Chains A and B, each alone.
Chain A
Amino acid sequence: MANFYTDNPDLKHHLNHPMMRKIVELKERNFTDAEKFDYAPFNFEDAMDNYDRVLEIVGDLCGGIIADNAEGVDHEGPTLKDGRVTYASGTQQNLEACRKAGLMGMAMPRRLGGLNFPITPYIMAADIVSRADTGFENLWGLQDCAETLYEFGDEDQKQRYIPRVCAGETMSMDLTEPDAGSDLQSVMLKATKKDDGTWVLNGVKRFITNGDSDIHLVLARSEEGTRDGRGLSMFIYDKRNGGVNVRRIENKMGIKGSPTCELTYKNAPCELVGDTRMGLIKYVMALMNGARLGIAAQAVGVSEIAYREALAYAKDRKQFGKAIIEFPAVAEMLSIMKAKLDASRSLLYETARFVDVYKVYEDIAKERPLTGEERQEMKLYKKLADALTPIAKGMGSEYCNQNAYDCIQIHGGSGFMKDYACERIYRDARITSIYEGTTQLQVVAAIRHVLSGTYKNLIETYAAEEIKAELLPAKERIAQMAELFFAAAGKVSEIKIQAYTDFMARRLVEMAGNTIMSYLLLSDANRNDSFNRTLHVYLNLAESEVEKHSEFIAKFKPEELEYYKA
């Protein structure tokens, strides 16, 4: 039986990144938990060994039960009866196995029943789970919501809800409504404060992943008469109290095991999280960033399985007297798939590390005032995380779709049949570039970092890193790409026409992404020779993309925008 962690040495490479020492030492606060909890680590090496061992459990479950159940879950799907959802039998087994293995609430502190894992190893688990069953990753990955409760809930709420999540109860984030998708400011679900000071919810939500969960985080309008985001607050709804029913389960193209629900709230009792009016502008924004990183991880997992399925088939399938992998056209596709996979994975873990640093500082700030230096660092990493998250999600999900497409292509006619996993992978991949903000919205989130120079500063930091001599030519090529990106960004920001900037945004963000991912792969190859091949394949791809965008931007005249109006 395969172990999806140990069979993939790239994961250990990313887990053992030099920056982990800083993250772990901050996260574990000088390892003081070791006196209170018998499963807490004594030092950095001990903590790293813990992550390794727990990821081995994740890899074992994923390579066994979860991967084995994926096809059955896709066929069976969840069912609805009397307003309640029943998961597919395979989903139930998967959840039970994850509960028994203690893999829920991984990033929560020990005092609340969690494993106190940094985001990076948790995201690695998400990457592994997604390779086994992308739809199941949704359900399992909703433990993310506990992070929002931990950040913004009061101590009493943390004590009441988080241990339940760690014990295996599932969560959902009830945001979307029929008329409020990407535009969450339009949320209309009504929260009413009763005379006794408690709140109730009334209205409808749509497209809610795992909508029949045990504990819901709900975005609702608490301020009557308001119409924008400032009238929205966040609430906790506990299924034990009743009042929310599932009206229907959507019939989806992919991730079929994950129930997507329409919910009706009828005087559903709930409790306020944090302050009123902060629901969207503060709490959901934080929740979404975490969720986007989760989707980036999900996308990498899909890229991984798409690549592996394609590779296995190409080695096995013989035509014209030899395995099809021996044909250059197929070999090139596989090399590019691997390069996209590796590039998006390197970006995923870089982003996760940045998130780790600032989140730990935010948490420490609850215990003691940060020093000036620490505050500076927190701000820097928060900005970097905010800048990298939309690229990791946006480009990572596009790459995973491309890999899923190529996976089918390599399977040829067989790939079009329902007999191989690749058609499920293709369907499952499709949502990653849509939910938690479409690729187009990721561009909107990222473009300000192009114009404000966040990416430029980061790229210059990478450029200043020492690299071994044999990689210097590669480094020089990346520096050239960076110059093209800086010049294009300069040109676009000089022409101060909003429609023109919006039009060029995707190209600029991709140029930033191509350059950053190239530097990250350079750093990977510097640490580990096994990344040499992928570095060069990606470099060829990224360079041609950056040059293409550079040419386009250089030649394009703002008056041509007229041709693109619908």
Chain B
Amino acid sequence: MSLNIIVLAKQVPDTRNVGKDAMKEDGTINRAALPAIFNPEDLNALEQALQLKDANPGSTVTVLTMGLPRAAEIVREAMYRGADGGIVLTDRPFGGADTLATSYSLAQAVKKFGNYDIILGGRQAIDGDTAQVGPQIAEKLGIPQVTYAEEILDLSDGHVTVKRRLEHGVEVVKAPLPCVVTVNGTAAECRPRNAQRVMKYKYAASPSEKANLPEDKQALLEARPFLNIKEWNAAFVEADPAQIGLPGSPTKVKAVENVVFTAKENLVLNDDDTAIENLIKDLIANHTIG
């Protein structure tokens, strides 16, 4: 059975390298000042999608991402690892969107995409940590959702069986297709870039990137359709201007604070089991571990 798989991915600022200029005046993230990476859990989702593709020959994996035009970078990254192509949902009016506006916009893009069997995405993005977009898309599309997925155990007879990793254990659930599955960071790590694919797809470009390419590369993109990354705007996905971007976002960020952890006090422990046990309990209680 061949599947049409959509992977939701986001290009995120690398929050491991947050500096002073990480936030703009309006409280939104200053993406230009931070290195942009493939959101880690979206890579886990991509791996699940690629495993489904491996098990179901003839399937296609399409990456859908919303962001600045340069988000085409993560579509190429996904192609290097096994995705067939991708769509960058980009338009100035999409800017400043919270999770509500984002999920509306992405759901519109999915509708435009049409025929799909399953939508996979990371549990959450490291810039916002909300874990709301995947579930909201499922709601807007009116399809089931499975969150906290660690492994897709089976996909057959129009159903998907998923192992979920929850706070106090695992749970196996079955959902009818199409559905949205959001994947945890504990799932299998994404496969590496493949040498042949990197050489094959390195010239892949979106229309706005293509416009800046030399003529011979533009001609190459015309000769090889698989190199063309799609770029969709708000009008194309028939998005209601009031529901996208800042106007569509009830959430307002008040401030982003750069918290630097510093050691303030030392704790001297006796070298016995009770002391260690108490320490572990404290660490669990204050959420340092566990």
Q: Which A residues lie within 8 Å of B192 (CB)?
A: 57, 60-61, 97, 100-101
Most central of A39, A50, A60, A115 by chain B CB within 10 Å: A39
- Kindly state the separation between the CA atoms of A38 and B193 in the bound complex, as whole angstroms: 17
Q: Is the CB of B199 within 8 A of A103?
A: no
Chain A 46-82 per-residue mask, 1 if CB under 8 angstroms from chain B, else 0: 0001100110010011000000000000000000000
Q: Is the CB of A102 within 8 A of B196?
A: yes
B281: Cβ under 8 A from any A Cβ: no
Q: Which B residues lie within 8 Å of A60 (CB)?
A: 192-193
A181: Cβ under 8 A from any B Cβ: no
Q: Is the CB of A49 within 8 A of B198?
A: no
Residue of A nearest to B200 (CB): A39
Q: Which of A359-409 contact B (CB under 8 A)?
A: none
Q: Which A residues lie within 8 Å of B174 (CB)?
A: none
- Kindly state the separation between the CA atoms of A215 and B56 in the bound complex, as whole angstroms: 29
B224: Cβ under 8 A from any A Cβ: yes
- Kindly state the separation between the CA atoms of A103 and B197 in the bound complex, as whole angstroms: 12
Q: Which A residues lie within 8 Å of B202 (CB)?
A: 49-50, 53
Residue of B nearest to A64 (CB): B192
Give B192 Cβ to nearest chain A Cβ, in Å. 4
Give B196 Cβ to nearest chain A Cβ, in Å. 5
Q: Which of A96-135 contact B (CB under 8 A)?
A: 97, 100-103, 106, 115
A41: Cβ under 8 A from any B Cβ: yes
Q: Which B residues lie within 8 Å of A103 (CB)?
A: 195
Chain B 193-214 per-residue mask, 1 if CB under 8 angstroms from chain A, else 0: 1111111101000000000000
Give B277 Cβ to nearest chain A Cβ, in Å. 27
Give B59 Cβ to nearest chain A Cβ, in Å. 17
Q: Is the CB of B196 within 8 A of A115?
A: yes
Most central of A49, A57, A101 by chain B CB within 10 Å: A101
Report if A54-B198 is in contact (Cβ < 8 Å); known contacts: A97-B192, A101-B192. Answer: yes
Q: Is the CB of B191 within 8 A of A50?
A: no
- Kindly state the separation between the CA atoms of A50 and B199 in the bound complex, as whole angstroms: 6
Q: Is the CB of A101 within 8 A of B199?
A: no
- Kindly state the separation between the CA atoms of A49 and B224 in the bound complex, as whole angstroms: 19
The one of A41, A61, A97, A100 that contacts B199, using a Cβ cutoff of 8 Å? A41
Give B9 Cβ to nearest chain A Cβ, in Å. 19
Q: Which B residues lie within 8 Å of A39 (CB)?
A: 196-197, 199-200
Most central of B194, B195, B202, B226 by chain A CB within 10 Å: B195
Residue of A nearest to B227 (CB): A38
Q: Is the CB of B195 within 8 A of A102?
A: yes
Q: Which B residues lie within 8 Å of A61 (CB)?
A: 192
Chain B 248-272 per-residue mask, 1 if CB under 8 angstroms from chain A, else 0: 0000000000000000000000000
Q: Which A residues lie within 8 Å of B194 (CB)?
A: 57, 100-102
Q: Is the CB of A53 within 8 A of B198?
A: yes
Q: Which B residues lie within 8 Å of A54 (CB)?
A: 195, 198-199
Give B53 Cβ to nearest chain A Cβ, in Å. 13
Residue of B nearest to A104 (CB): B195
Most central of A38, A41, A97 by chain B CB within 10 Å: A38
Q: Which A residues lie within 8 Å of B197 (CB)?
A: 39, 102
Q: Which A residues lie within 8 Å of B191 (CB)?
A: 97, 100-101
Most central of A40, A54, A61 by chain B CB within 10 Å: A54
Q: Which of B35-86 contact A (CB under 8 A)?
A: none
Q: Which B residues lie within 8 Å of A38 (CB)?
A: 200, 224, 226
Q: Which B residues lie within 8 Å of A100 (CB)?
A: 191-192, 194
Q: Which A residues lie within 8 Å of B196 (CB)?
A: 39, 102, 115
- Kindly state the separation between the CA atoms of A125 and B194 in the bound complex, as whole angstroms: 15
Residue of A nearest to B220 (CB): A42
Q: Which A residues lie within 8 Å of B224 (CB)?
A: 38
- Kindly state the separation between the CA atoms of A184 and B21 in the bound complex, as whole angstroms: 67
Residue of A nearest to B190 (CB): A100
Q: Which of A426-451 contact B (CB under 8 A)?
A: none
- Kindly state the separation between the CA atoms of A497 and B226 in the bound complex, as whole angstroms: 70
- Kindly state the separation between the CA atoms of A76 and B56 in the bound complex, as whole angstroms: 35
Residue of A nearest to B50 (CB): A100
Give B212 Cβ to nearest chain A Cβ, in Å. 18
Q: Which A residues lie within 8 Å of B193 (CB)?
A: 57, 60, 101
Residue of B nearest to A100 (CB): B191
- Kindly state the separation between the CA atoms of A102 and B195 in the bound complex, as whole angstroms: 5
Q: Which B residues lie within 8 Å of A97 (CB)?
A: 191-192
- Kindly state the separation between the CA atoms of A352 and B113 in the bound complex, as whole angstroms: 50
Residue of B nearest to A49 (CB): B202
Q: Which B residues lie within 8 Å of A102 (CB)?
A: 194-197
- Kindly state the separation between the CA atoms of A292 and B190 in the bound complex, as whole angstroms: 35
Give A92 Cβ to nearest chain B Cβ, in Å. 14
Q: Which A residues lie within 8 Å of B198 (CB)?
A: 50, 53-54, 57
Chain B 159-200 per-residue mask, 1 if CB under 8 angstroms from chain A, else 0: 000000000000000000000000000000001111111111
Q: Which A residues lie within 8 Å of B226 (CB)?
A: 38
Give B245 Cβ to nearest chain A Cβ, in Å. 35
Q: Which B residues lie within 8 Å of A40 (CB)?
A: 199
Give B253 Cβ to nearest chain A Cβ, in Å. 30
- Kindly state the separation between the CA atoms of A106 and B194 in the bound complex, as whole angstroms: 12
Most central of B197, B198, B202 by chain A CB within 10 Å: B198
Give B46 Cβ to nearest chain A Cβ, in Å. 13
Q: Which A residues lie within 8 Å of B199 (CB)?
A: 39-41, 50, 53-54, 115
Residue of B nearest to A96 (CB): B191
- Kindly state the separation between the CA atoms of A195 and B290 in the bound complex, as whole angstroms: 69
- Kindly state the separation between the CA atoms of A115 and B196 in the bound complex, as whole angstroms: 7
- Kindly state the separation between the CA atoms of A245 and B213 in the bound complex, as whole angstroms: 57
Give A287 Cβ to nearest chain B Cβ, in Å. 25
Q: Which A residues lie within 8 Å of B200 (CB)?
A: 38-39
- Kindly state the separation between the CA atoms of A308 and B32 in the bound complex, as whole angstroms: 34
Q: Which B residues lie within 8 Å of A49 (CB)?
A: 202
- Kindly state the separation between the CA atoms of A336 and B255 in the bound complex, as whole angstroms: 53
Residue of B nearest to A43 (CB): B216
Give B94 Cβ to nearest chain A Cβ, in Å. 31
- Kindly state the separation between the CA atoms of A514 and B191 in the bound complex, as whole angstroms: 44
- Kindly state the separation between the CA atoms of A100 and B47 in the bound complex, as whole angstroms: 12
- Kindly state the separation between the CA atoms of A550 and B107 in the bound complex, as whole angstroms: 80
Residue of A nearest to B191 (CB): A100
- Kindly state the separation between the CA atoms of A54 and B202 in the bound complex, as whole angstroms: 11
Residue of A nearest to B81 (CB): A100
- Kindly state the separation between the CA atoms of A6 and B126 in the bound complex, as whole angstroms: 25
- Kindly state the separation between the CA atoms of A49 and B201 in the bound complex, as whole angstroms: 13
- Kindly state the separation between the CA atoms of A41 and B198 in the bound complex, as whole angstroms: 12
Q: Which B residues lie within 8 Å of A101 (CB)?
A: 191-195
- Kindly state the separation between the CA atoms of A83 and B194 in the bound complex, as whole angstroms: 33
Residue of B nearest to A166 (CB): B196
Give A398 Cβ to nearest chain B Cβ, in Å. 33
Residue of A nearest to B194 (CB): A102
Give B224 Cβ to nearest chain A Cβ, in Å. 7
- Kindly state the separation between the CA atoms of A239 and B197 in the bound complex, as whole angstroms: 30
Give B234 Cβ to nearest chain A Cβ, in Å. 34
Q: Which B residues lie within 8 Å of A53 (CB)?
A: 198-199, 202
Give A80 Cβ to nearest chain B Cβ, in Å. 29
- Kindly state the separation between the CA atoms of A171 and B196 in the bound complex, as whole angstroms: 21
- Kindly state the separation between the CA atoms of A253 and B121 in the bound complex, as whole angstroms: 47
- Kindly state the separation between the CA atoms of A54 and B193 in the bound complex, as whole angstroms: 9
- Kindly state the separation between the CA atoms of A39 and B197 in the bound complex, as whole angstroms: 7
* Extra contacts besides A57-B195, A61-B192, A115-B195 (5): CB < 8 Å: A38-B226, A39-B196, A39-B197, A60-B192, A100-B192
Complex A-B: 9 CB contacts under 8 Å:
A39-B200, A54-B198, A57-B198, A60-B192, A60-B193, A101-B194, A101-B195, A102-B194, A103-B195
Point out residues on B near A: beta carbons under 8 Å: 191-200, 202, 224, 226
Sorted from nearest, which 4 A-B pairs have the closest CB atoms? A39-B199, A102-B195, A39-B200, A101-B192
